[in-house]
């Protein structure tokens, strides 16, 4: 491998945002290099690994762990890549491979609501975005075309053009729950980057029910598909290239990215424009690592906001048994949701949230539980069948406000290449707790409407995150309080851009991928215009 690489544009990270940005810039005639810390993988490889894995509920398990590019793993034990500073752990999961974490996502591709971008003005909480929904709308549509998004029109987000595809056919479970809880609660089919018909050379969903950790037929869009499209457009991907430092000149322009190969040989890549496209943990880590005499607190950090306002979507859940057999497990794992609590005056008092109906097969979890309780033989088989047919699970997806004390810093501990690990500071506030309390009331109401028995709500004040790693690079109109401008460009370095969920000032109540891609495509427009 040469140590004299150069391109018009150097992208760090080959996930869905970085790859689609690279594709668009390569299509416009720019030479583009993508540096990816992890290895290449294939759908066939991961599908085989998933089938062989004893840890079917661990979506990280089928993916390779690379000593030179470690990624968080908690099964069978914590690999301690993410150093937890508390007061509560933030057990984030993400992939460091070509294509990034959307290899194992649920493909939910929601738009924000217009009010989500104005919660400070409307409700006195959080912060406002420096752009409006109308600014983002055409880029949402462009992202939906690229990714192949299907969904219903009644999901609350205005749109200028119809979806590329109709919604995925609802499962029997989804249809029956919708009938039982209407009209009080409106259960709609989710908006997803999943083919409901043949689209873009890929087949329609056939209901394998393991969208996470891998769609075995590519009916679901992934960062792997995005990376392939970037290469077809002329971008060059360099896997196993761990960027550990950015260099700048006396004016603050970024002039080079330095990376290690797996044997810790160092290489230097020069370019005119640099784009950081990793996640909201790995980007701050790199910028802190790149501190210099001119920028002692890290690059892109004159505001002191770098790494701060780390956010996700905390979740609680409910499990209950319906009186009829519904057999979760036929169709996509996350097919439908209730949207009515995503916005309202209550946001001044507690978190907004969405409720998701799970369609994941109950068989594996039920079997594990019954064996742990001593069930054997025919009694075990009968009870597996009964519970798997009747059990229903729901969870909330709850908005977390930006808190500067929730942040990413560098740890003293180092990885195999000698690079400091990320250190995470994380907590939940009363705004979240009150939102969880409001959710619990709705859980119990829905369970009652379903005629449920054996209702189990998750313990109070014990939440799970959804791997929607957001914030830490917040964009804004004021360089004193923001890392990037409204186009994702660093206030401190004129040729440094960010395409990541990290630039989102708030997290709202929906999965962040589609919004991140739309923002990334808007950044492409700014780069091409010389903004």
Catalytic residues: 468
In which order are the strands placed within the sheet that holds 83-87?
83-87, 420-426, 407-414
DSSP per-residue string spanning 269-312: EEEEEEEE-S-TTHHHHHHHHT--SS-TT-TT-TTS-TTBS-B-
With a CB cutoff of 8 Å and minimum separation 6, the contacts of 111 are 140, 155, 157, 159, 191, 510, 514, 515, 518
Token code pair at residue 223: 């960062």
What is the C-alpha to C-alpha distance for residues 53 and 440, in angstroms, rounded to an integer?
Answer: 35
DSSP per-residue string spanning 51-101: HH-S-TT-TTTTSPPBTTB-----SSS----SEEEEES--------STTGG
Region label for 48, one of left (φ > 0), alpha (ψ between -120 and 50) or beta (otherwise): alpha
What is the C-alpha to C-alpha distance for residues 132 and 477, in angstroms, rounded to an integer?
Answer: 12
Question: Residue 275: which of 526, 40, 34 has the closest Cα?
Answer: 34
User: What is the maximum span of the chain, computed from C-alpha positions, in angstroms?
Assistant: 75
Apex CA 113: angle with CA 329 and CA 179, to 5°? 40
**Residue 453: its H or E element:** strand 453-457
SS3 518: helix
What is the C-alpha to C-alpha distance for residues 471 and 426, in angstroms, rounded to an integer?
Answer: 13
Apex CA 83: angle with CA 261 and CA 474, to 5°? 80
With a CB cutoff of 8 Å and minimum separation 6, the contacts of 119 are 125, 126, 127, 128, 347, 506
SS3 105: coil
What is the C-alpha to C-alpha distance for residues 297 and 303, in angstroms, rounded to an integer?
Answer: 10
Chain position carrying tokens 């003005």 = 121
DSSP structure class, residue 37: S
Contact 115, 226 (CB under 8 A): no
Chain position carrying tokens 């043949």 = 198
Chain position carrying tokens 């890929």 = 202
With a CB cutoff of 8 Å and minimum separation 6, the contacts of 315 are 395, 396, 397, 398, 463, 464, 465, 466
DSSP per-residue string spanning 337-394: EE-TTSSSGGGGTS--EEEEE--S-SHHHHHHHHHHTT--HHHHHHHHHHHHHHEEEE
């Amino acid at each position: 491998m040469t140590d004299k690489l150069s391109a018009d544009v150097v992208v760090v990270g080959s996930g869905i945002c970085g790859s689609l940005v690279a594709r668009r810039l390569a299509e416009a005639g720019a030479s583009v290099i993508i540096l990816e810390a992890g290895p290449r993988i294939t759908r066939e490889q991961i599908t085989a690994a998933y089938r062989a894995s004893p840890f079917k509920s661990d979506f990280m398990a089928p993916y390779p762990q690379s000593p030179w590019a470690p990624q968080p793993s908690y099964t069978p034990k914590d690999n301690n890549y993410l150093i937890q500073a508390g007061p509560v752990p933030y057990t984030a999961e993400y992939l460091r491979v070509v294509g990034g974490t959307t290899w194992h996502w649920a493909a939910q591709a929601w738009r924000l609501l217009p009010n989500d971008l104005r919660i400070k003005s409307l409700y006195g909480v959080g912060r406002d975005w420096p752009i409006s929904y109308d600014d983002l709308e055409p880029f949402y549509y462009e992202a939906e075309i690229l990714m192949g998004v299907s969904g219903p029109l009644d999901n609350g987000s205005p749109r200028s053009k119809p979806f590329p595809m109709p919604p995925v056919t609802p499962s029997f479970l989804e249809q029956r729950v919708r009938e039982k809880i209407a009209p009080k609660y409106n259960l709609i089919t989710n908006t997803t980057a999943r083919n409901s018909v043949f689209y873009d050379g890929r087949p329609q969903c056939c209901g394998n029910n393991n969208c996470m950790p891998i769609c075995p037929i590519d009916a679901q869009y992934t960062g792997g598909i995005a990376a392939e499209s970037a290469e077809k457009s002329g971008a060059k991907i360099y896997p196993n290239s761990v960027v550990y430092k950015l260099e700048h000149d006396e004016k603050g322009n970024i002039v080079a990215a330095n990376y290690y190969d797996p044997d810790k040989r160092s290489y230097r890549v020069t370019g005119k424009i640099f784009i950081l496209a990793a996640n909201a943990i790995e980007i701050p880590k790199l910028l802190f690592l790149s501190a210099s005499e001119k920028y002692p607190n890290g690059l892109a950090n004159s505001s002191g906001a770098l790494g701060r306002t780390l956010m996700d979507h905390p979740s609680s859940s409910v499990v209950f048994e319906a009186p009829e057999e519904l057999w979760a497990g036929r169709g996509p794992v996350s097919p439908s949701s209730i949207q009515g609590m995503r916005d309202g005056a209550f946001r001044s008092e507690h978190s907004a949230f969405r409720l998701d109906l799970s369609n994941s097969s109950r068989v594996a979890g039920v079997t594990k539980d019954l064996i742990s309780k001593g069930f054997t033989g025919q009694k075990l088989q009968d009870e597996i069948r009964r519970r798997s047919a009747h059990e229903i699970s729901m969870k909330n997806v709850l908005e977390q406000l930006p808190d500067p004390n929730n942040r990413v810093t560098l740890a003293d501990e180092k990885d195999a290449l000698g690079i400091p690990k990320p250190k995470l500071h994380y907590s939940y506030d009363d705004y979240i707790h009150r939102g969880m309390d409001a959710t619990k009331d709705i859980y119990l109401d829905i369970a009652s409407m379903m005629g449920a028995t054996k209702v189990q709500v998750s313990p109070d004040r014990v939440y799970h995150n959804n791997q929607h790693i957001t914030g830490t690079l917040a964009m804004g109109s004021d360089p004193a309080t923001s890392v990037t401008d409204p186009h994702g460009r660093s206030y401190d370095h004129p040729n440094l851009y960010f395409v990541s969920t990290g630039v989102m000032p708030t997290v709202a109540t929906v999965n962040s991928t589609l919004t991140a891609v739309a923002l990334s495509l808007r950044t492409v427009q700014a780069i091409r215009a010389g903004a």
